[in-house]
């Protein structure tokens, strides 16, 4: 057998991908575009059937791109035995939080059991799911060893965190990859393999360092978002426009990076990843003061947003109870049809709990998904004048904000979209 470094560097090998969601499917497209074989595995037979028919469920992967990969020989299956033919296994499964905000490793553990059942000599196994430092060593290594394989002789194990930003024009293949092996040899093999996928690979000394790097990236964002959310609340108390303050601070060419307030944080990373780190820190009897404080600010923002809405209505002599409110946008991020952990939904639930009658305008998410959440969908063609207040929770580009301000008596802008677009309207109130 060709030595692993030479084989992954020079030969045409096959990438096996476990989990074909927003991380796994773009990775499969990248591998196919680089001339590698692709075997994608997912437990959802419905998802597999759609993929094999050339229908993508991931916004960043077009049907045309998927069909090109299929024509090049990519295979998608719900049969884990197919992964035996793969030379490298990339684990791209969810890593959510449990009910008590503790790490839920059930998907990673299930993927590890799959690896244990199909692992063979010569394979590289790389975990991409975000998790706490030590997961790769604690879960993936025992899985391959239980298959009778010896680390660095038969199999190589590494961690390389996903770096996907849904809706961002930057493709997976353009984003530098951090790679860390559980041993130096595993790290070298993984680095060589990933260089076939992306132009820039940064290898660190261990899987733990790579796991920690991913958590630092998103904890940095969570802490700074928490800071600016707190500043937004203070600015309101002091009758200062926080958006003007951020614009002014952004003129400094060094020492400042702009972060923006909003109704809270959502998605698959920012609300979750810092809690993986905080949970691991608690195991080590270490207090994560910044992380905990930022989380307290961020998770309270939907309630604060609802409080502000109540105050705006009260100044007009209107109660929250029984008042019709138009929620504009329920996805967690602009121009992305994804509402996981969405702060917008948290605001809406808070308003409903106070008796508000909330309808939703979101052309990106779509009417069917809005109904699934139990809310009345509204389109731009409907009579919006029936709503005393509209609240912009997600700033999709496809929404005509000038028309919104003209047709609704008052607009509460939690995203600063009116200032950003230069739309002057006396009835718009900023966060």
Kindly list the catalytic residues. Answer: 269
* Cβ neighbours around 99 below 10 Å, total: 6
Dmax of the chain from CA atoms? 79
Buried b (16+ CB within 10 A) or exposed e, 354-376: eebebbbbbebbeeebbeeeebe
CB atoms within 10 A of CB 184: 12
CA 109 to CA 112: how far, in whole Å?
A: 5
Question: Nearest to residue 200, comparing CAs of 225, 178, 184, 231?
Answer: 178
Q: What is the CA radius of gyration of the chain?
A: 24
| 17, 40 contact by CB (below 8 A) | yes
Tokens matching residue 132:
């706490």
Other C-beta atoms lying within 10 Å of the C-beta of residue 181 = 28
d(CA 108, CA 281): 20
Contact assessment for residue 387 and residue 325, using Cβ atoms and an 8 Å cutoff: yes
In sequence order, the 6+-apart residues with CB closer than 8 A to the CB of 61 are 25, 26, 29
The values of phi and psi at residue 322, to 5°, are 85, -10
Nearest residue to 131 via CA among 14, 23, 292, 262: 23
Residue 360 pairs in a beta bridge with: 327, 377
If phi > 0 it is left, if psi is from -120 to 50 it is alpha, else beta; for residue 33 that is alpha
Contact 270, 218 (CB under 8 A): yes
Q: How far apart are the first and last CA of the chain?
A: 63
Distance of CA 240 to the CA centre of its chain: 32
Name the DSSP letter for residue 150: P
How large is the angle between the packed helices 343-353 and 289-314, nearest 10 degrees? Answer: 50
């Amino acid at each position: 057998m060709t030595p692993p470094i030479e084989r992954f560097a020079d030969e045409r090998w096959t990438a096996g991908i476990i989990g074909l969601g927003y991380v796994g499917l773009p990775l499969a497209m990248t591998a196919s575009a680089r001339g590698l074989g692709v075997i994608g595995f997912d437990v959802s037979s419905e998802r597999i059937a759609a993929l094999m028919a050339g229908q993508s469920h991931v916004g960043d992967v077009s049907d045309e791109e998927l069909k090109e990969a299929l024509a090049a020989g990519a295979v998608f299956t719900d049969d884990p035995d197919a992964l035996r033919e793969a030379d490298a296994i990339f684990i791209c499964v969810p890593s959510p939080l449990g009910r008590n905000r503790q790490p839920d490793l059930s998907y990673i553990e299930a993927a590890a059991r799959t690896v244990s059942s199909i692992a063979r000599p010569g394979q590289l196994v790389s975990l991409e799911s975000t998790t706490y430092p030590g997961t790769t060593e604690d879960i993936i290594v025992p899985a391959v060893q239980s298959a009778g394989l010896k680390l660095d002789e038969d199999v190589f194990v590494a961690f390389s965190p996903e770096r996907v930003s849904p809706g961002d024009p930057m493709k997976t293949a353009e984003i530098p990859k951090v790679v860390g092996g559980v041993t130096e040899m595993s790290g070298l093999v993984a680095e060589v393999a990933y260089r076939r996928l992306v132009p820039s690979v940064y290898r660190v000394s261990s899987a733990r360092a790579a796991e920690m790097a991913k958590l630092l990236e998103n904890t940095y964002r969570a802490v700074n978002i928490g800071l600016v959310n707190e500043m937004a609340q203070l600015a309101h108390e002091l009758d200062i426009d926080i958006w003007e303050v951020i614009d002014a601070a952004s003129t400094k060419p060094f020492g400042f990076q702009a972060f923006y307030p909003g109704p809270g944080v959502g998605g698959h990373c920012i609300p979750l990843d810092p809690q993986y780190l905080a949970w691991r820190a608690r195991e080590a009897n270490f207090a994560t003061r910044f992380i905990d404080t930022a989380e307290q600010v961020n998770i309270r923002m939907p309630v604060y947003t609802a409080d502000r809405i109540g105050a705006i209505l009260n100044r007009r002599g209107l109660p929250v109870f029984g008042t019709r409110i138009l929620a504009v946008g329920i996805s967690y991020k602009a121009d992305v049809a994804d509402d996981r952990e969405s702060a917008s939904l948290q605001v809406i639930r808070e308003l409903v709990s106070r008796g508000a009658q909330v309808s939703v305008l979101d052309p990106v998410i779509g009417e069917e998904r809005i109904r699934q959440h139990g809310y009345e969908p509204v389109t731009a063609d409907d009579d919006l004048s029936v709503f005393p207040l509209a609240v912009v929770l997600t700033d999709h580009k496809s929404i005509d904000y000038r028309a919104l301000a003209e047709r609704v008596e008052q607009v509460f802008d939690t995203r600063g979209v009116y200032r950003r677009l230069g739309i002057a309207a006396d009835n718009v109130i900023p966060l």
